[in-house]
Amino acid sequence: MESKLCDLFGIKYPIIQGGMQWLATPEFAAAVSNAGALGTLNSSLSKSKEEFVEMIRRTRSLTKNPFAVNISMLPNQPAGELTLDFLSAVAEEKVDVVELSGTDPTPFVPALKNAGIKVIHKSPAVRFAKKAEAAGVDAVTIVGFECGGHPGMDDVTTLVLIPSVVDAVSIPVIAGGGICDSRSYAAVRCLGAEGAVMGTRFVATKECVIHPNFKELILKATERDTGIVQRSIKNAARNYKNPAILKLMDMEANGKPTLEEILAIVSGKRQKECYETGNIESGAIPMGECAGRIHDILTVKEVIDEIVTGAAKLLK
């Protein structure tokens, strides 16, 4: 099925790997790009501009195909110094595609466009998508309430959100939240999306560097096993309901935990330790509701091939 995203990004299939903290490594992004989709490198893996440049170059050495870089920012906060460093690095390295998320992209778009970079903005709402279009981005990624990670504060599901954004903007829309196979991919193409982004499905792949315990967790999870935390700080996040997240859900339902109390559970440092050691009990494990529909650990290529061939049959 044709898509404007293939021409825009120079890719074979309009399937995008979400920029997942700690997991979207050069090797992983390259595996996705080599399979004909758009791999994404996560800037948060780097602690300095030099390290980040090194990661971009390593990815480029592993694939001849285009890849993206995700730069996630925090809402309602000015960009930290490292964010500005990352932005200048992607411009200097002439990265193919940059995905921004978490805050208004307006101040950052002109420099990226001047460097010839295609810019995606990821957002969970019609109003933010319109703002991103006005800022000059090339495409928007829109994630519904089912998604792993940050679904925004409005609780609007993919089935309603995607066609609403498609009707509201003229730039291509990439749908996310709940997509994990040919059926869900075909569904969002029917809703008007030009392609899809997936996070949870890509965690359950052979190439993902996460500890095997987490892949097993996805296989065992049902559609009821994820929940939302961080509403109290207006940064809602969908995670697997392990004991740590259940505790935080309880704290938020029965009071207003301090930022320190929240960070003690969801900090990136703690998450990284869990991913490495296989500790599934503590820390935040972003996971979408579609975990309940994932029953096998496949290679990245097998995931992409099933979507492409299956969706072609369904859409015919």
| Chain residues that interact with ligand FMN, rule: CB under 6 A | 18-21, 23, 42, 44, 70, 72, 101, 122, 143, 146-149, 176-179, 197-201, 203, 286-288, 290
* CB closer to ligand FMN out of 220 and 256: 220
What is the rounded distance in angstroms from the CA atom of residue 290 to the CA atom of residue 293?
5
SS3 state of residue 260: helix
Question: Quick one: tokens of 67?
Answer: 């890849």
37: left (phi over 0), alpha (psi -120 to 50) or beta: beta
What is the rounded distance in angstroms from the CA atom of residue 17 to the CA atom of residue 135?
24
How far apart are CB 255 and ligand FMN at their closest, in Å?
Answer: 27
Give the helix ranges, DSSP H, for the chain.
4-9, 26-34, 49-62, 81-92, 109-114, 126-135, 158-168, 182-190, 200-203, 212-220, 243-253, 259-266, 268-277, 300-315
* CB closer to ligand FMN out of 80 and 255: 80
* CB closer to ligand FMN out of 61 and 215: 215
Question: Quick one: tokens of 179?
Answer: 């997509």
How far apart are CB 19 and ligand FMN at their closest, in Å?
Answer: 5
CB 181 within 8 A of CB 1: no
* CB closer to ligand FMN out of 30 and 294: 294
Which residue of this chain has its Cβ atom nearest to ligand FMN in the complex? 199
Question: Quick one: tokens of 223?
Answer: 């559609």
* CB closer to ligand FMN out of 135 and 208: 208
* CB closer to ligand FMN out of 51 and 61: 51
SS3 state of residue 87: helix
How far apart are CB 260 and ligand FMN at their closest, in Å?
Answer: 21
How far apart are CB 21 and ligand FMN at their closest, in Å?
Answer: 3
Choose among 24, 11, 21: nearest CA to 56: 24
What is the rounded distance in angstroms from the CA atom of residue 201 to the CA atom of residue 16?
11
How far apart are CB 221 and ligand FMN at their closest, in Å?
Answer: 12
* CB closer to ligand FMN out of 154 and 255: 154
How far apart are CB 242 and ligand FMN at their closest, in Å?
Answer: 13
How far apart are CB 205 and ligand FMN at their closest, in Å?
Answer: 12
Choose among 63, 64, 29, 12: nearest CA to 205: 29
* CB closer to ligand FMN out of 97 and 287: 287
How far apart are CB 15 and ligand FMN at their closest, in Å?
Answer: 11
CB 291 within 8 A of CB 227: no
